[in-house]
């Protein structure tokens, strides 16, 4: 029901835009978020956005570089990633319907993930 896309290989300092498209149900009233998991590490919170886009949340390491947004009529969420660093390399997952935006276990729906690789 959630399909993440837009990952790829990019050089350090470059940009990527991830998309997360919903299908089968509307996510327009749900908080949605992005998480990532690097090899050998636990899944970590990246960013989240409330249903009305009134509030956005970011982990400290991406503040000022990443921007989360959503287009409710398209049932789609985005993550614009600028000034990418090698440490941003991970599989990025989108998720929806959460009571606590930064807590992975509070999300009810998950996408399959898209790989972002940042070369130095």
pLDDT the model gives residue 53: 83
Per residue in 86-107, pLDDT (tens digit) is 999 999 999 999 999 999 999 9
Three-state helix/strand/coil letters over the chain: CEEEECCEEEECCCCEEEEEEECCCCCCCCCEEEEEECCCCCCEEEEEECCCCCCEEECHHHCCCEEEEEEHHHCEEEEEECCCCHHHCEEEEEEEEECCCCCHHHEEEECCCEEEEEEC
> Whole-angstrom Cα distance, residue 102 to residue 100?
6
**32, 49 contact by CB (below 8 A):** yes
Answer whether residue 22 shows pLDDT above 90: yes
Confidence of residue 85 (pLDDT cuts 50, 70, 90): very high
Per residue in 25-69, pLDDT (tens digit) is 999 999 999 999 999 999 999 999 999 888 999 999 999 999 999
């Amino acid at each position: 029901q959630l399909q993440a896309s837009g990952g790829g290989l990019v050089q350090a300092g470059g940009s990527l835009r991830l998309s997360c498209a919903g299908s089968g149900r509307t996510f327009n009233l749900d908080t949605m978020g992005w998480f990532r998991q690097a090899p050998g590490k636990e899944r970590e919170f990246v960013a989240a956005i409330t249903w009305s886009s009134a509030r956005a949340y970011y982990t400290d390491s991406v503040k000022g570089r990443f921007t989360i947004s959503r287009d409710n009529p398209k049932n789609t969420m985005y993550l614009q990633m600028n000034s990418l660093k090698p440490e941003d390399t991970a599989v990025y997952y989108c998720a929806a319907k959460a009571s606590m935006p930064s807590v992975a276990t509070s999300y009810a729906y998950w996408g399959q993930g898209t790989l972002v690789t940042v070369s130095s």
